[in-house]
Amino acid sequence: MFDINLETLYIIGSAVAGVVTILILVYLIRKDWPRSKFVDIIVWAVAWAIGGAIVGLADNDIRQSTAIIIGALWGALIAMVQTSGWSLRKK
């Protein structure tokens, strides 16, 4: 019925592990533990880099290293905006 080879199983397992890791990082960053803004930026960059790695696994048109770098840059940029106090929403 299903023809799943080891490569497909590896991709699915990597994606699931990445999503779980992202959820753990988001949980840790949402806690009110004392930490610097630099740590917040690094954690968000890592979470987005993992997301980029998942996209790189799923899409054959983009290299995985490019997806990871772009994800990390977006994560860092969003975290810097978020920690600066500037809101992306209209008030």
- Residue ranges of the chain whose pLDDT lies below 70: 1-4, 87-91
pLDDT at 91: 58
Assigned token pair, 67: 């997806």
pLDDT at 89: 65
Residue 1 gets which letter from DSSP?
A: -
Q: How many CA atoms lie less than 13 Å away from 41 in the CB half-sphere?
A: 10
pLDDT at 88: 59
Instruction: Determine the residue type at 67.
Output: A
- 51: nearest Cα among 11, 27, 29, 18: 18
pLDDT at 19: 86
Please state the pTM of the whole predicted model. 0.66
pLDDT tens per residue, range 52-78: 888 887 777 888 788 888 888 888 888
